[in-house]
Amino acid sequence: MIRLAASARMVLAASLLAAFAFVLIGPILNLALWSVAERWYTPHKLPVTYGTRYWEQVFRPTGDAMASLGTSVWIAVLTVLFALVLSIPAGYALARLKLPMRALFMLMFLLPQAFPSVAIYINVARIFYQLGINGTVLAVVLVHTAHGLVFSVWIAAAAFAAVDKDLELAARNMGASPLRAFFTVTLPLAAPGIIASGIFVFLESLDEFTGTFFVGVPQVTTLPLLLYNAAMGGNYQVASITALILLVPSVLFMLFIERFLRADVLAKVGT
């Protein structure tokens, strides 16, 4: 009797898990099916003909998608550079130097993430329009940097805080200048955390839709905008392939994040 109840529970748990897997994987599977469906219409439950015609169309060197991928990567690289130039000094100041109103400054970097962003972006677009930079790569990079700065500053501060102060002092005692101690000891030791923050900012920029939608149109078409245009134009194949391209870095990041972001750094984020 007890055995029967136990196996009934087992079956129930397994079927719940199967339902969960279906809900979790089903949408992605449907996307993958659309990317290789050359013809798919009702009442067919599965694509009528399969093929890679749309993949060839998307990956054609002269196609829209390759141009958008180029634009997206270029914007993301610039955003990372920009964010690091701003966040390495800021992170060092927050972690190591005596800073008045430190908590307030930490909060300042969080604010752009803590407000509903659409209302902000429409006004940024208006300001950029008056400055004549709306629809340029610069405008998109600026918006992405402001959005990603909380990650890069907070993680950089945590990475610097996790570096042993005695190592810095040892370098200073041996006659290194403060700048030299920073570049030969502190920065290399904090590098894994800073690289992680860079990857974070890169992905945020690659995936960003709302800001680009208001600030970048119509001249700057990143991958998310291409996806949106294809989906709204009814081209499910191109939309699905673009979505799959965007999935690759996200999934890789999820698998490898723990290598870069060590627990001792992670524990200090936001403190």
Partner 1 sequence: MSLSQRHLALLLIAPGLVLVAALFLYPLCFSLISAFSKDGRFTLEWFAKAFELYSTDMVFTVVIVVTSCALTALAAIVIAGTLTLGENRWIVGTLKALYRWPLFIPFIVAAQCMRTFLAKNGLMNNSFVSMGLIEPLQAVSYLDWRGIIATFVWKQTPFVALLLAGALASIDRATLEAGRNLGASRLRVLIELALPQVMQTLLVALVLSFVTMLSVLSVPLMVSGSQPTMLTVDMAFRINAYGDYATANALGVITYLISAGAAILYLRRGLSQEAPR
> Does residue 231 bind partner 1 (CB under 8 A)?
yes
> Do 231 and 239 meet the contact criterion of CB atoms below 8 Å apart?
yes
Q: Is 79 in the site for partner 1 (CB under 8 A)?
A: no
Check if the beta carbon of residue 160 is closer than 8 Å to that of residue 92. yes
Among 8, 111, 167, 169, contact with partner 1 (rule: CB under 8 A):
111
187 part of the interface to partner 1, by CB under 8 A: no
- Binding span for partner 1 by CB under 8 A among 51-59, 61-69, 159-167, 223-231: 223-231
Cα separation, 142 vs 223, whole angstroms: 18
**Which residue of 2, 5, 119, 179 would you call a contact of partner 1, by CB under 8 A?**
119
Within 153-182, the residues that bind partner 1 by CB under 8 A are: 153
Instruction: Go through 60-72 and write b for each residue having 16 or more CB atoms within 10 A of its CB, e for each that does not.
Output: eeeebbeebbebb
Which one, 63 or 102, has the nearer CB to partner 1? 102
> Per rule CB under 8 A, is residue 250 in the interface with partner 1?
yes
Instruction: Answer yes or no whether residue 219 interacts with partner 1 by CB under 8 A.
Output: no
What φ, ψ does residue 38 adopt, rounded to 5°? -85, -35
Q: Which is nearer to partner 1, 14 or 62 (CB)?
A: 14
Q: Which of 3, 5, 61, 100 binds partner 1 (CB under 8 A)?
A: 100
Shortest Å distance, C-beta 236 to partner 1: 7
Using rule CB under 8 A, residue 233 touches partner 1: no
Considering the complex, state which of residue 20 and residue 60 has its C-beta at the smaller distance from partner 1: 20
Letter for the amino acid at 216?
G
* Residue 126 binds partner 1, judged by CB under 8 A: yes
Interior angle at CA 37, CA 35 and CA 38, nearest 5: 120
Which residue bears the tokens 């390495």?
88
Which pair of structure tokens corresponds to residue 264?
């001792």
Q: Which is nearer to partner 1, 24 or 62 (CB)?
A: 24
CB proximity list for 101: less than 8 A, separation 6 or greater: none
Q: Shortest gap between Cβ of 18 and partner 1 (angstroms)?
A: 10
In 48-158, DSSP assigns E strands to 49-50
Q: Does 116 bind partner 1 (CB under 8 A)?
A: yes
Report if residue 89 touches partner 1, rule: CB under 8 A.
yes
Q: Which is nearer to partner 1, 26 or 70 (CB)?
A: 26
Instruction: Give yes or no for a cis peptide into 100 (omega within 30° of 0).
Output: no
Task: Copy the structure tokens of residue 134.
Answer: 């709306």
| Single residue of 55, 59, 74, 105 touching partner 1 by CB under 8 A | 105
| 259 makes contact with partner 1 (CB under 8 A) | no
Q: Does residue 131 touch partner 1 according to CB under 8 A?
A: no
d(CA 229, CA 208): 15
For helices 223-232 and 64-96, the axis angle rounded to 10 degrees is: 130
Total binding residues for partner 1 by CB under 8 A? 82
